[in-house]
Amino acid sequence: MENEKSNQKEQNLYDKILKENILGYVLQFSEKQLGFHIKKHALLKDKLQTTLEREADFLVLITTQDEKEFILQLEFQARDEPNMILRMQEYHAILQKKYQKPIVQIVYYLGETPSNMRSILAPSEVFVGFQLKSFRDYSYKEFIESENAEEVIMAVLADFEKEKQEEVVSKILFRLSQLKTDITALSKYIKQLLVLARLRNKLPKIIQNQLGNMGTIGYDIEKDDFYLQGLQKGLQKGIEKGIEKGVEKGKLEARRELAISCLKKGLSIEMTAELTKLSIEEVRKLSKEL
């Protein structure tokens, strides 16, 4: 039970971050991946009812002589209900989730005038499944090249394309420092990055080490509850002060790591210098060391 509570707590934390950031990138990302174009959009903030209660008129588990089982649901309807088909669809979903058995539904109409109730769903109303996508199906580069920090941190969940984890983490941190020069904003996205990294083995420690090398923040990520409980003022000040001291050193170190990666991939010294904002002399020095 305690383990279930812990898992739910962790899931709520991931949900909090994703819901907070999602509008920053998800529409553009979905357009690119799914191939549709958005003319306009409106955010629906209605809460979906998760405790929907329906009481069927008659519900029984049937076992036939040849040992087949199914749920029989009978409804008695005195009025000609236009949305009865959708109500029965709700019943079906609830029963299917609970019993996971075939379901037979019958509505007996008791009215005097002929019924115009639909008894079959239109094709567009039928649930036939959903699209399943994994962040591992996308290259981290699709996220890291974004202009939105909210999208950049999602790179930590994508495919690293056989690159070393340390190199990808360095690029993510460097990109965040490019997009968020304000210390408070940078601190926010680094903390979110640390939380999302828990979904991948070893990455929290790698990020912690990278941040330690940058001289920014150092604390035990595995015991970290700051996002769940609220960050205390003293810790917030300590983190921001640490980032402020180490951000310049961290940017330089990240640029050097990026330059090494560029050189390994065959980019020229001049191009590498232009991309990383390092001097040509410094890039030459790194090239000789390689």
List Cα–Cα distances, 55 to 52, 74, 214, in angstroms. Answer: 10, 11, 60
At position 131, the amino acid (one-letter code) is Q
* Mean confidence (pLDDT) of the chain: 77
What is the C-alpha separation between 178 and 49, in angstroms, rounded?
42
pLDDT at 24 over 70: no
- Of 100, 98, 99, 73, residue with least CA distance to 87: 73
What is the C-alpha separation between 23 and 212, in angstroms, rounded?
31
Mean pLDDT of 79-85: 91
The per-residue pLDDT for 100 is: 93
The per-residue pLDDT for 120 is: 94
Mean pLDDT of 40-56: 61
Q: How confident is the model over 83-94, as pLDDT tens digits? A: 999 999 999 998
What is the C-alpha separation between 53 and 122, in angstroms, rounded?
25
Q: How confident is the model over 235-269, as pLDDT tens digits? A: 444 445 554 555 555 567 777 877 787 777 777 88
The per-residue pLDDT for 155 is: 92
In this structure, of 56-60, 111-115, 143-147, the range with the lowest mean pLDDT score is: 56-60
Q: Domain ranges in the chain?
A: 2-34, 58-117, 148-289
- Phi, psi dihedral angles at 148 (to 5 degrees): -105, 125
The per-residue pLDDT for 188 is: 85
Res. 215 pLDDT band, cuts 50 70 90: very low
pLDDT at 223 over 50: no
The per-residue pLDDT for 18 is: 73
What is the C-alpha separation between 144 and 152, in angstroms, rounded?
5
Mean pLDDT of 159-178: 90
Q: Are 85 and 117 in contact (CB under 8 A)?
A: yes
The per-residue pLDDT for 52 is: 55
The per-residue pLDDT for 59 is: 87
The per-residue pLDDT for 260 is: 83
The per-residue pLDDT for 88 is: 92
Q: Are 59 and 92 in contact (CB under 8 A)?
A: no
Answer yes or no: pTM beyond 0.75: no
Residue 237, class by beta-carbon neighbours within 10 Å (0-12 exposed, 13-18 middle, 19+ buried)? Answer: exposed
The per-residue pLDDT for 213 is: 59
